[in-house]
Amino acid sequence: MVITRRTFLERSSLLAATLATGKNRFLETMAHAVPTMPVALDVTTLAQFVDPLPVPDIARSQGQRPSPGDPKRSLPFYRIRAQAIASKVHRDLPPTKFWSFGTSMPGPTFETRSGEPLLVEWVNGLPNEHFLPIDHTIHGAEEDKPAVRTVVHLHGAKTPPESDGYPEDWIVPGKSSLYYYPNQQEAAMLWYHDHALGINRLNMYAGLFGAFFIRDGVEEALALPKGKYEVPLILYDRLLTREGQLLYLVSPDPKSPWLPEIFGNAIVVNGKLFPYLEVEPRRYRFRVLNASNARFYHLSFANEAPFHQIGTDQGLLPAPVPLTELEIAPGERADLVVDFSEHRGGQLVLKNNAVVVMQFRVSPGKAVETGSLPSALRPVPKIPESKAVATRLLTLDEFVNKAGNPVMLLLNASHWKHPVTEKPVLGSTEIWSLINPTSDSHPIHLHLVRFQILDRQTFEPWLFQTKREFHFLGPAEPPDPSEAGWKDTVRAHPRMVTRIIVPFEGFTGRYVWHCHILEHEDNEMMRPYEVIAAA
Ligand SMILES: [Cu+2]
């Protein structure tokens, strides 16, 4: 295994958690020598599989409102309030303070159909003070900005710009924004989350996110598991204090608390730590979302049970892909089918690498006949490269201080405030070559659009950084079969050029593209882009 800087940090934050448990006298002495070392809960001391897996409630509309585009038409209207809540993540812990959309965490799940628009009034009902450490040296979060700001982005949605949750369109407590979602797109699992400039990582860590499903007839015709046999699995890692409260690690410099990545030892699924789910001996569909700030998951069953991936960020794959391990980066979704019929009366443990995540308890008795998994799902016609009218070379940049610690990350060496440089024409297709000379994998997300991954190719980063010369170290590799569908977030691996082909469809206007490691995005791995009308 290659030790990237992230792997190192990930292990360091696990070490921080270990240190704080005080199991080892030498380590304990070290911990006391660092006054900023917080006291983290060692979650391995908690009993496992004592809480049932919760499933977020379905959002309910509060009647109808006129459509903004056509006042004669009325649309379902939802009012969702971001607010402070307390929620138990484990039987043996006191309630944890979160910020959530609604009364539970994650927020309610939207269920809607392709082509059926809806309206949401997003209400900021949060307190006036933030409970997580704001870094006022970060752009958009300066001292003169209100501490508590929120704006909601529906990740993966083809949304007009005024409803897309532009990071500067934040509102303060007591205010609300009315957003219009046309839902003119294929069936997929989207998710809504905070996107406020400079504090997004803190608002998301506090809990401001939820799931949003779009359904359509193509998906329904496949007779996939549904109802109680289709379960969202929303994963996010947290560090907790011994009192069970959220702990967000900071740098030793109180003026600049930002750290390049935050990892927790507690892997929370739908709001619970080490939950269990009772299942029948049949096929289930799991809609997996990585809502973590920075953690990439490598999910597998402890007994190496096989499963299928049937869809990705933007909907169904052309055909099911057999897997025994799933890699999923922050912002990505995976649509899985697991057949428990072979495991009746047994227990399956889902793990992230060697770490226990949750348990499935399969009831005894006869397996239920549910037919076979379709061999063909939804065609995903490959976009030919010849369709692209432009290729943009875009770098992912990391800046380190003298001690070698990252102090800032940029896209194409440009700050958020610099003029917009990416201006694709509505209706055109472009290739974006994401050049990553850093030692981290960056999950890059483009708002508004869906795209396909063309390939990835390893290059020599030093030659590129010093002379802007490309020296490739191997052939271009096609995406994994599990990524060979429509995507909205792509893992741009270290020392590789990752090429995506993007049709710019939907709307003209100002959107953003960014790294979905939230600490990177906030400081400042995010840029505006603008879809312009054809001349
Ligand atoms: Cu990044």
Cα(441) to centroid(ligand 1), Å: 7
pLDDT of residue 23: 31
Q: Give me ligand 1 centre to Cα 170, in Å.
A: 23
Instruction: Using the predicted structure, report yes or no on whether residue 5 has a pLDDT greater than 80.
Output: no
Q: Quick one: pLDDT band at residue 62, thresholds 50, 70, 90?
A: very high
Q: In what order do the strands lie in the sheet with 452-458?
A: 406-411, 390-400, 429-436, 496-503, 452-458
Give residue 411 CA to ligand 1 midpoint distance, Å: 9
Dist. CA 319 → ligand 1 center (Å): 30
Q: State the number of CA atoms in the 13 A half-sphere of 384 facing the CB.
A: 2
Ligand 1 centre from 415 Cα, in Å? 14
Least confident among 28-42, 63-77, 493-507: 28-42
409 CA distance to ligand 1 middle (Å)? 7
- Whole-number Å distance, alpha carbon 442 to ligand 1 midpoint, is 4
Q: How confident is the model at residue 371 (pLDDT cuts 50, 70, 90)?
A: confident
Report DSSP letters for 287-338, one per residue: EEEE--SSPPEEEEETT---EEEEEETTEEEEEEEEES-EEE-TT-EEEEEE
Alpha-carbon distance of 230 to 146, in angstroms, equals 40
Q: What pTM, to 2 d.p., does this model score?
A: 0.93
Distance 23 CA to ligand 1 centre (A): 34
Distance, CA of 237 to chain centre = 12
What distance in angstroms lies between residue 7's CA and the mean position of ligand 1's atoms?
Answer: 14
For residue range 241-264, what is the model confidence (pLDDT) as tens digits? 999 999 999 998 888 999 999 999
Amino acid of residue 243: E
* Distance (Å) from CA 380 to ligand 1 centroid: 28
- 282 neighbors 229 (Cβ within 8 angstroms): yes
The answer to whether residue 15 scores a pLDDT higher than 80 is no
The CA 397 to ligand 1 mean position distance, Å, reads 9
- The model's confidence at residue 472, banded by pLDDT at 50, 70 and 90, is very high
3 CA from centroid of ligand 1 (Å): 16
84 strand-pairing partners: 99
Average pLDDT over residues 378-396: 97
CA nearest to 119, candidates 51, 178, 34: 178
Q: Say how many Å lie between the CA of residue 389 and the centre of ligand 1.
A: 27
Percent of the chain, pLDDT > 90?
A: 87
Q: How far is the CA of 320 from the centre of ligand 1 (A)?
A: 29
Which residues are within 8 A (CB) of 333 and not within 5 positions of it... i.e. 6 or more apart? 156, 188, 189, 191, 287, 288, 289, 290, 311, 312, 313
Q: Is 510 exposed, middle or buried (0-12, 13-18, 19+ CB in 10 A)?
A: middle
Q: How far is the CA of 521 from the centre of ligand 1 (A)?
A: 7
CA proximity to 65, closest of 77, 53, 79: 77
How many angstroms is it from 201 CA to the middle of ligand 1? Answer: 12
Q: Residues 313-336: pLDDT tens digits? A: 999 999 999 999 999 999 999 999
- The one-letter code for the residue type at 72 is K
Calculate how far, in angstroms, residue 231's C-alpha sits from the geometric centre of ligand 1: 29
Q: Which pLDDT does position 68 carry in this prediction?
A: 85
pLDDT of residue 406: 83
Per-residue pLDDT, 370:
75
Beta bridge partners of 327: 298
CA of 463 to the centre of ligand 1 (A): 22
Distance from residue 294's CA to the centre of ligand 1 (Å): 8
Q: How confident is the model at residue 4 (pLDDT cuts 50, 70, 90)?
A: low
The CA 53 to ligand 1 mean position distance, Å, reads 31
Report how far ligand 1's centroid is from the alpha carbon of 285 (Å). 30
Tell me: pLDDT of 14 over 90. no
Q: Is 50 exceeded by the pLDDT of residue 61? A: yes
Half-sphere exposure of 77 (CA within 13 A, CB side): 12
Q: How high does pLDDT run on average in the chain?
A: 92
CA of 121 to the centre of ligand 1 (A): 31
27 C-alpha to ligand 1 centroid (Å): 31
Q: From ligand 1's centre to the CA of 176, what distance in Å? A: 30
Q: How far is CA 60 from the centre of its chain?
A: 24
Å from CA of 434 to ligand 1 middle: 12
Model confidence at 26, pLDDT cuts 50, 70, 90, reads very low
Cα 356 to averaged position of ligand 1 atoms, centre (Å) = 26
Residue in 169, 480, 484 with CA at minimum distance from that of residue 315: 484
Q: Do residues 289 and 211 lie in contact, with contact meaning Cβ atoms separated by under 8 Å?
A: yes
64: Cβ contacts below 8 Å, ≥ 6 apart: 74, 75, 76, 77
Cα 446 to ligand 1 centroid, rounded to whole Å: 13
Give residue 31 CA to ligand 1 midpoint distance, Å: 29
Compute the distance from residue 79 Cα to the ligand 1 centre, in Å.
Answer: 33
Distance from the alpha carbon of residue 407 to the mean position of ligand 1, in angstroms: 13
- Number of other residues whose CB lies within 10 A of the CB of residue 526: 25
CA-wise closest residue to 87 among 282, 255, 254, 236 = 236
Position 38 scores a pLDDT of 62
Distance from Cα 470 to the centre of ligand 1, integer Å:
22
pLDDT band at 400 (very low <50, low <70, confident <90, very high): confident
